[in-house]
Amino acid sequence: MKRYIAFFLSILLVANITACGMASEPDIETEPPVEDTSSPQPMQEQNVDQQDIQEPEQDTQGPEKTTDPDLIYSKLVERFRALVVDPFGQDSDEPGEIGVLEAARDAGDRAEYEMGYLVEDLSGDGIPELAVGQLGGPINALYTLVDGQPELVFEGWYRSSYVYMGDGHFYYYGSSSAAKTGQGVFYLTKDGTALECESFLFTGLDSGGDIRVYYNETGSWDLAESEESDMTAEDFWALDPAGEALPLTPFSGTGSFSAVESESPVSVQYLTEVGDEDYNWVTLYDGPDACCILITSDSWASDLNIWNLFVEDVADDGTMTCSATLAGDDCHWDTVTSDTQIAVQLIFPGDLPAYGISYEDQHGTLRRFAIEVSGDDGSLLLREADPNESGFVLGGE
C-alpha cells in the first residue's frame, strides 16, 4: 500500500513541476485555433508556421473568382459559337443548346452570320444577361448570373419562341397542337431569373369542337384556368406585336451590325497588290487608265450585283436619279461571305457615278450603293441610294 501511495505522490509532483515550467512561457493557446479544430492535432503539428497555414485560404480567393460578366459568360459564348459554326457536325440535348442548334441547322451555311449573342442587363437589376439567338429575330436561350454563375432563364425553339419587345419584355409564340396555339407577353422578374406572364391568349376547342380564343394572366394552357375572349380566331392569328430586336454580335465575329445602322457590311477599296487569296475576277474595262477595285463583305449577304449606272436627272438639291443595267453576266453572286474576294478591273470616267452594287443583307433588306471617288483624297466611297425608292436615287450632298 505504501508503495502505491509513494508512486501516486511522485505523479503529482511531476505534474506540478510541468505546470510550473509551462507557466513561465507565453500561452499559445489562449484563443481557439484559426484552423479547423474538429480533430485535435499534436503540439508539434499545431506550431506550424502561420504563413503556411494561410496560403491555401488565400489561393481559394484568387483570380478564378472573377466578377467580370464577359469573362464568366465567355465559356458559354464559345460553346454556342462552336454549335453555330458546325451545326450538322454535332448534337446536343443540353438545356439551352437545343433551340440554338435547331436554329443554326435551319440557317445552314448562313448560321454564323445570322445568329449571335449579347451580354446586357435586360432585367434592370444591374446583373447582365446573356442572350443567344437570331439577328433581328427570336432569342433561343437567355442566361443570367446567380451567385456568379450562369443559370438558364428560358429556351426558345421553332414551336415555342420568344422575341424581344424592349424594357425586359418578350413576346411568346408557340403551338402544342393543330388546335392549340398561344401568344403572350412575358417579362423578366427583377432579379432576371424567371419570366412572369403579363397576358396570354391561346386557341382551343370548345365543347362543340369549334376553335375559340381564351385568355389568362398566368401563361396556363388550361381552359379551366382561363376565360373565353371576345377575340375571333382570325384576329388572333393576325396579331403582329411591335418588337425591338436586340443588337446581337454575330458569331462570325464581325461586330454588332444591325438593320438600323447605316453602315454597309460590304466595302470597296483599291486593289494595289494581288495576294494568294482566291479572287473572283471581273473585267469591265481593260484599256488605258484602268484600275482594279476589291469588293469584300464582313458578313453574309445574298444576291450581290454590280451595275453600270447612267445619270438621268440631277435635281436642284443635287439628288441624282440613275438608271442601271447589270454590268455583265459574271457580275452576280447568289451569296457572299467574309471569305469572298471580288476583284473588278474598270475605269472611272468622270465625276458622276458610273458603277453601283446592290445586295440583300443578313436581315433580308435590299441595299443599293453607288461607287464613287472622293474629291478630297481619291479614295473609294459607297453612297447609299434612297431605300424608299425602287432604283438608284442618290441624295444630294
pLDDT digits (tens, 9 = 90+) for 117-166: 999 999 999 999 999 999 888 999 999 999 999 999 999 998 999 999 99
Smallest CA-to-CA distance from 318 within 353, 283, 269 is with 353
Q: Is the model more confident about 112 or about 17?
A: 112
pLDDT of residue 265: 82
Structural domain boundaries of the chain?
A: 69-237, 262-394
**pLDDT, position 317:** 84
CB 346 within 8 A of CB 270: no
Average pLDDT over residues 159-188: 93
Does residue 197 register a pLDDT over 90? yes
191 contacts: CB under 8 Å, gap ≥ 6: 123, 125, 127, 144
The mean pLDDT value of the chain amounts to 82
Distance of CA 150 to the CA centre of its chain: 15
pLDDT score recorded for residue 174: 94
Residue from 114, 121, 166 nearest 143 by CA: 121
Q: What is the mean pLDDT of residues 225-245?
A: 89
DSSP 3-state of 250: strand
- Please compute the mean of the pLDDT values over residues 63-85 and round it to a whole number: 84
pLDDT(21) > 90: no
> Using CA atoms in the order 198, 204, 210, 214, what is the torsion angle rounded to 10 degrees?
-20
Q: What is the pLDDT of residue 61?
A: 44
pLDDT at 241: 82
List, in order, residues 6 or more apart from 396 with CB less than 8 Å away. 315, 317, 318, 319, 320
Q: How far is CA 174 from CA 59, 163, 205, 325, in A?
A: 48, 11, 17, 45
Q: What is the largest CA-CA distance in the chain?
A: 135
The model's pLDDT over 250-307, given as tens digits with 9 standing for 90+, comes to: 888 643 333 233 367 899 999 988 877 889 999 999 999 999 999 999 878 899 999 9
pLDDT, residue 253, reads 66
pLDDT at 377: 78
- pLDDT at 100 exceeding the cut of 90: yes
Tell me the DSSP string of 325-372. Answer: EES-TT-EEEEE-TT-EEEEEE---SSS--EEEEEE-TTS-EEEEEEE
Q: Does the pLDDT of residue 19 top 70, yes or no?
A: no
| 397 against 278, higher pLDDT | 278
Percent of the chain with pLDDT over 70: 80
d(CA 384, CA 357): 10
Q: Which amino acid is at 62?
A: G
pLDDT tier, 351 (very low <50, low <70, confident <90, very high otherwise): confident
Q: Could you give phi then psi for residue 85, rounded to 5 degrees?
A: -70, -35
Q: Report percent pLDDT > 90 for the chain.
A: 58
**Which pLDDT belongs to residue 43?**
35
Question: According to the model, what pLDDT value does residue 136 have?
Answer: 80
**What pLDDT is stored for residue 263 in this prediction?**
61
CA distance 318 to 348: 20
pLDDT bracket for residue 397 (50, 70, 90): low
Residue 65 has pLDDT above 50, yes or no: yes
